[in-house]
Chains A and B, each alone.
Chain A
Amino acid sequence: DTGVSQDPRHKITKRGQNVTFRCDPISEHNRLYWYRQTLGQGPEFLTYFQNEAQLEKSRLLSDRFSAERPKGSFSTLEIQRTEQGDSAMYLCATLRGSNYGYTFGSGTRLTVV
């Protein structure tokens, strides 16, 4: 499978718990992005990496959110002390180059109860 893989597909957690999502990108794509999408809305940018360097973070990414991409390979997105407002689909995407579109994973759907 040469696509972008995300794990888990679904996560239900209690408010206040920490959660971590994983994204395995297409190996030759060195840019990796995280987006968040709520029902009826388009994806909203959270952060992106060029190899292992985190180059940009959205103001949406509060102190409770942290993302890493060790060794420029897979990436993780952690949310600490989850709140109900964090319930959303979290999407990972990679970019081959500016002449191409983004390749998205199927996302992780988070439900905070």
Chain B
Amino acid sequence: SQKIEQNSEALNIQEGKTATLTCNYTNYSPAYLQWYRQDPGRGPVFLLLIRENEKEKRKERLKVTFDTTLKQSLFHITASQPADSATYLCALVYSSASKIIFGSGTRLSIRP
């Protein structure tokens, strides 16, 4: 079965630095990959989507890369702020789009 691995440890970085989160998967590549933010007690909020034929996607301070050879996606937050502190979830979507498979998430803390 498909497995997704995200940074197993929480990530703690200084405000203003770039946060980089990793998502690795096994087996076959998805049609596209999504990143979500989740705050405690809330549902996930969609951030970015990248397709298998795209190498990089940007949105404001966010950047996502997708390497199907390495079976890896990297999620970057530049000029990080304490308000960026949350859990970030990687999710794989296969061509049927019948469901998405989530990783367990990485908890990111930005200290002032």
Binding site for B on A (CB under 8 A): 4, 33, 40-45, 48, 55-56, 58, 91, 93, 95, 98-107, 109
Contacts and interface: CB of A to CB of B under 8 A. Distances in A.
Specify the main secondary structure of chain B where it touches its partner: strand
Contacts of B49: 99-101
A93 B45 CA distance: 10
B46 A100 contact: yes
B34 A45 contact: no
- The 10 A-B residue pairs with the shortest CB-CB distance, nearest first, are A101-B46, A42-B102, A104-B43, A45-B99, A42-B104, A43-B102, A98-B97, A104-B44, A56-B98, A41-B104
Interface of B: 4, 31-32, 34, 36, 41-47, 49, 89, 91, 93, 97-105
A41 B44 CA distance: 12
A42 B3 CA distance: 12
Contacts of A42: 4, 89, 91, 102-105
Given A93-B43, A104-B44, A104-B45, 11 more contacts: A42-B104, A42-B105, A44-B102, A55-B98, A101-B36, A101-B46, A101-B49, A102-B44, A104-B43, A106-B42, A107-B42
